[in-house]
């Protein structure tokens, strides 16, 4: 309802029951068509009221100042005015026709103004703050504090406005003005057609502070009025509701054009609403009276604007509304959310560097109706728009599993119509299977790299063969120590082997192995035969998941040692691995693998002197891990090919024998090469990812061997590797053997 407020200006004045504010008695202000209007605090003269105010009652006005020379300053730490009127006007604070009111002190006062009207009486109203003027004489109001809350509501058909400021003339020589300046500001209005801020007929409203403004119409303006919200860009601001440029033929007949500046800064700032023009009685000159040129929105540092659906143009209706364009968008890394196909907005000019457009796309809709539209008619040079394609509910980004590059281009073209000098780009994130891609300003498409989910899944699933390959590669010295010191034909042994593997994608794989074996030299044979059982636990952490593996193994070996220092060691292994995986934040699955391994090592010890020796060595290890299918808890599936590994090692050990046959120490260095190692995974949608497993690294370590008794010895070995895609940060082996 557009309703001209005239009673305080035009109603007959009467003798007040109380002529000064703060007396504790109500005063009669005027008579109107709805009866006697009364005020709790009447302002006459220039007065300062320093006490706290806590008032709740049924006067029409809480605080009232009318006419030049009447100025009231309320400096209390608490100023609370709650006006409720069952049969008339409910106004919190009024300053009109030269009257001035200052409420609160910055960083000190807590100001709360609330009004409520039941709407029982026709023409009733609920206004929180009302600043009015007449014939070039406006009212002035300032509200300051640590916090300021302005709330107006009604239970009926009441005209509800949290703030109303008007001069009632188009001459700006003395505008009515309202300044709200506080750390936190809340301006809200509830009720049918409620309005948070109304500025008309050259009225000025400025809001400073961390502000929340909310109503069906957050801002209503016309007649060269000004509304400035966070104009200096110092605070976060949340606005919920439309900005309505409203023409009212019965009362004003003034054009709707006005200045509205909303400056939103930071990710906590947002505006959910749109710009509209409404009319009560359509003017004969629509272009003159219903045109808007002063709507400016500032978005910076991830502040967001979410336009809502507005009424379409109705050119013949006497009462109606239409959408109007945003005149100026100052965009510096702001965000615009186009939430559906019903959203169609226009920006006449965009300045700044540009920002992001989140574009909802309904892929189930017919072609051409899948998105809303934002049109940017003019823009600064080198400005950019980054388009984020969202699902229809704006809950997630569309991925490369949802759409192809051509489909993405089509959606971008339908949703963003920008001036030629605006660079429009988009990056579509990878899905579970397909690579992500980027569309540049020229429309060219480039991949953002191999699919990291596929890659991570492959890496995780490869934890088994990777760990098995490296863990099972253990030469005779690691497994048995220096067996040359053994005295008997048979023996038992046990060892612990543990370490950490690290690699790309943030891989860290900690493993530990417990192994026990027995061996013997049968008859006159020169070959020692043995068997061992082992358990390996492996915990792998990756960039996008983790994997835990349990590996149970059975091995058999034959060791020949020649009189001249030669040795040949052959080991066959059978292992069963179970790997539990968590991928991409919570998708779980498991794999069971069987591994077969065969290794052979040849070495030759040459005594340099009675104490020192050198021992060249070569070793080859082949490992096969069977193919397996992985199904994750989100329904995605992956098929892995068989894994084949062939490791070759060539190195040299340098040792020193301790006197009295108490043991030895050695250092060793080797070069190792992976000749195979390729891995391949096929996603549930047929996407394929392959990795080249070939790799080369250097292995180096130190070891000791001590004879505890003639029949028992202890050994320890530590090593590192470097230069490979997968390296050992450390590995340590300790063991003991007893011969009999």
SS (H, E, C) 518-582: EEECCCCCCEEEEEEEEEEEEEEEECCEEEEEEEEEEEEEEEEECCCCEEEEEEEEEEEEEEEEE
Phi-psi group of 191: left, alpha or beta (phi > 0 → left; psi -120 to 50 → alpha; rest → beta)? left
What DSSP line would sit under 592-626, residue for residue?
EEEEEEEEEEEEE-EESSSSEEEEEEEEEEEEEE-
Mean pLDDT of 150-168: 90
Mean pLDDT of 608-630: 91
Q: Return the sign of the alpha-carbon dihedral for residues 456, 457, 458, 461.
A: positive
- The token pair at 218 is 């957050």
Query: How many CA atoms within 13 Å lie on the side-chain side of 226?
Result: 12
* C-alpha distances in Å from residue 373, one per residue of 241, 244, 412, 413: 20, 21, 9, 9
Say what the pLDDT of residue 654 is.
Answer: 95
* The pLDDT of residue 608 is above 70: yes
Say what the pLDDT of residue 666 is.
Answer: 94
Say what the pLDDT of residue 13 is.
Answer: 33
* The pLDDT of residue 34 is above 90: no
DSSP state at residue 163: E
Say whether pTM exceeds 0.85.
Answer: no
Q: How confident is the model at residue 547 (pLDDT cuts 50, 70, 90)?
A: confident
Q: How confident is the model at residue 472 (pLDDT cuts 50, 70, 90)?
A: low
Say what the pLDDT of residue 210 is.
Answer: 98
- The token pair at 25 is 């008695």
Q: Output the 3-class SS for 513-529.
A: EEEEEEEECCCCCCEEE
Spatial distance between the Cα atoms of 727 and 470, rounded to a whole number of angstroms: 10
Mean pLDDT of 3-24: 36
Whether the CB-CB separation of 542 and 504 falls below 8 Å is answered with no
Neighbours of 185 (CB within 10 A): 25
- Planar angle of CA 38, 40, 42, nearest 5 degrees: 85
Partners of 147 in the β-ladder: 110, 184
Spatial distance between the Cα atoms of 174 and 96, rounded to a whole number of angstroms: 12
Q: How confident is the model at residue 17 (pLDDT cuts 50, 70, 90)?
A: very low
Model confidence pLDDT, tens digit, residues 342-352:
999 999 999 99
Mean pLDDT of 633-646: 86
Whether the CB-CB separation of 583 and 630 falls below 8 Å is answered with no
134 vs 444, more confident:
444
Mean pLDDT of 320-329: 94
Whether the CB-CB separation of 703 and 715 falls below 8 Å is answered with yes
Say what the pLDDT of residue 189 is.
Answer: 97
* The pLDDT of residue 42 is above 60: yes
Among 274-283, 390-399, 509-518, 621-630, which is the least confidently predicted range? 621-630
Say what the pLDDT of residue 662 is.
Answer: 87
Spatial distance between the Cα atoms of 274 and 295, rounded to a whole number of angstroms: 11
* C-alpha distances in Å from residue 22, one per residue of 30, 37, 78: 19, 18, 15
* The pLDDT of residue 293 is above 80: yes
Whether the CB-CB separation of 471 and 535 falls below 8 Å is answered with no
Whether the CB-CB separation of 416 and 374 falls below 8 Å is answered with yes
Mean pLDDT of the chain: 88
| Residue that is written with structure tokens 């379409």 in the block | 312
Q: How confident is the model at residue 531 (pLDDT cuts 50, 70, 90)?
A: very high
Say what the pLDDT of residue 468 is.
Answer: 65
Mean pLDDT of 244-252: 92
Model confidence pLDDT, tens digit, residues 106-120:
999 999 999 998 777
20 vs 324, more confident:
324
* The pLDDT of residue 289 is above 90: yes
Model confidence pLDDT, tens digit, residues 113-149:
999 987 777 778 899 999 999 877 899 999 999 999 9
Mean pLDDT of 715-734: 91
Say what the pLDDT of residue 427 is.
Answer: 96
Q: Of 281, 416, 253, which is closest to residue 350 (Cα–Cα)?
A: 416
Measured in degrees and rounded to the nearest 5, phi and psi for residue 708 equal -75, -40
* The pLDDT of residue 29 is above 80: no
Q: What percent of the chain has pLDDT over 70?
A: 91
Measured in degrees and rounded to the nearest 5, phi and psi for residue 566 equal -75, 155
Mean pLDDT of 37-51: 89
Say what the pLDDT of residue 483 is.
Answer: 82
Mean pLDDT of 160-184: 89
């Amino acid at each position: 309802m557009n309703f001209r407020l005239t009673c305080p200006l035009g109603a007959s004045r009467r003798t007040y029951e109380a002529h000064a504010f703060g007396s504790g008695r109500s005063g009669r202000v005027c008579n109107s068509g709805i009866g006697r209007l009364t005020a709790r605090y009447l302002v006459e003269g220039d007065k300062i009221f320093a006490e706290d105010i806590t008032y709740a009652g049924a006067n029409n006005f809480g605080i009232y100042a009318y006419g030049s020379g009447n100025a009231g300053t309320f400096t209390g730490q608490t100023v609370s005015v709650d006006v409720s009127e069952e049969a008339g006007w409910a106004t919190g604070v009024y300053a009109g026709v030269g009257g001035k009111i200052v409420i609160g002190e910055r960083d000190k006062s807590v100001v709360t103004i609330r009004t409520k009207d039941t709407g029982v009486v026709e023409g009733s109203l609920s206004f929180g703050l009302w600043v009015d003027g007449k014939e070039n004489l406006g009212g002035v109001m300032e509200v300051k504090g640590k916090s300021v809350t302005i709330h107006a509501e009604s239970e009926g058909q009441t005209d509800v406005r949290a703030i109303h400021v008007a001069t009632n003339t188009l001459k700006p020589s003395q505008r009515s003005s309202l300044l709200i300046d506080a750390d936190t500001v809340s301006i809200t209005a509830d009720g049918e057609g409620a309005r948070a801020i109304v500025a008309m007929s050259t009225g000025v409203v400025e809001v400073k502070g961390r502000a929340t403004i909310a109503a069906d119409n957050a801002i209503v303006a016309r007649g060269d009025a000004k509304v400035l919200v966070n104009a200096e860009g110092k605070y976060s601001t949340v606005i919920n509701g439309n900005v309505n440029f409203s023409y009212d033929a019965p009362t004003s007949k003034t054009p709707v054009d006005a200045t509205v500046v909303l400056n939103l800064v930071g990710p906590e700032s947002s505006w959910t609403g749109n710009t509209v023009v409404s009319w009560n009685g359509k003017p004969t000159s629509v272009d003159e009276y219903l045109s808007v040129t002063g709507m400016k929105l500032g978005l910076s540092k991830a502040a967001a604007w979410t336009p809502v659906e507005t009424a379409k143009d109705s050119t013949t209706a006497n009462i109606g509304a239409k959408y109007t364009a945003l005149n100026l968008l100052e965009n510096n890394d702001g965000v615009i959310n186009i939430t559906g196909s019903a959203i169609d907005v226009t920006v006449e000019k965009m300045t700044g560097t540009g920002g992001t457009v989140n574009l909802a796309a309904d892929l189930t809709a017919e072609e051409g109706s899948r998105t809303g539209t934002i049109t940017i008619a003019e823009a600064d040079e080198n400005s950019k728009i980054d388009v984020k394609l969202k699902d229809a509910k704006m809950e997630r980004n569309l991925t490369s599993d949802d759409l192809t590059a051509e489909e993405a281009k089509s959606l971008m073209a339908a949703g963003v119509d920008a001036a030629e000098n605006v660079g429009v780009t988009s990056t579509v994130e990878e899905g579970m299977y397909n690579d992500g891609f980027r569309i540049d300003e020229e429309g060219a498409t480039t991949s953002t790299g191999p699919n990291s989910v596929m890659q991570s899944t492959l890496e995780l699933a490869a934890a088994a063969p990777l760990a098995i390959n490296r863990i099972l590669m253990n030469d005779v010295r690691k497994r048995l120590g220096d067996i040359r010191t053994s005295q008997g034909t048979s023996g038992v042994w046990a060892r612990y082997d543990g370490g950490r593997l690290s690699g790309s994608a943030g891989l860290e794989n900690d493993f530990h192995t417990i192994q026990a074996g027995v061996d013997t030299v049968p008859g006159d044979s020169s070959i020692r035969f043995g068997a061992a059982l082992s358990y390996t636990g492996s915990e792998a952490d990756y960039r996008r998941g983790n994997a835990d593996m349990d590996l149970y193994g059975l091995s058999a070996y034959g060791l020949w040692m020649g009189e001249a220092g030669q040795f040949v060691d052959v080991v066959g292994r059978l292992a069963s691995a179970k790997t539990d995986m968590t991928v991409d934040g919570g998708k779980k699955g498991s794999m069971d693998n069987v591994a077969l391994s065969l290794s052979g090592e040849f070495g030759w010890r040459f005594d340099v002197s009675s104490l020192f020796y050198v021992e060249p060595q070569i070793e080859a290890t082949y490992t096969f891990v069977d193919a397996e299918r992985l199904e994750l808890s989100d329904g995605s599936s992956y098929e892995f090919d068989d894994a084949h590994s062939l490791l070759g090692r060539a190195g040299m050990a340098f040792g020193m024998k301790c006197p009295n046959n108490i043991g030895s120490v050695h250092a060793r260095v080797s070069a190792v090469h992976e000749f195979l190692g390729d891995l391949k995974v096929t996603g549930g949608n047929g996407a394929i990812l392959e990795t080249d497993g070939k790799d080369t690294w250097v292995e180096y370590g130190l070891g000791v061997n001590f004879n505890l008794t003639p029949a028992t010895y202890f050994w320890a070995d530590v090593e590192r590797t470097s230069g490979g895609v997968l390296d050992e940060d450390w590995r340590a082996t300790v063991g003991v053997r007893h011969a009999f």
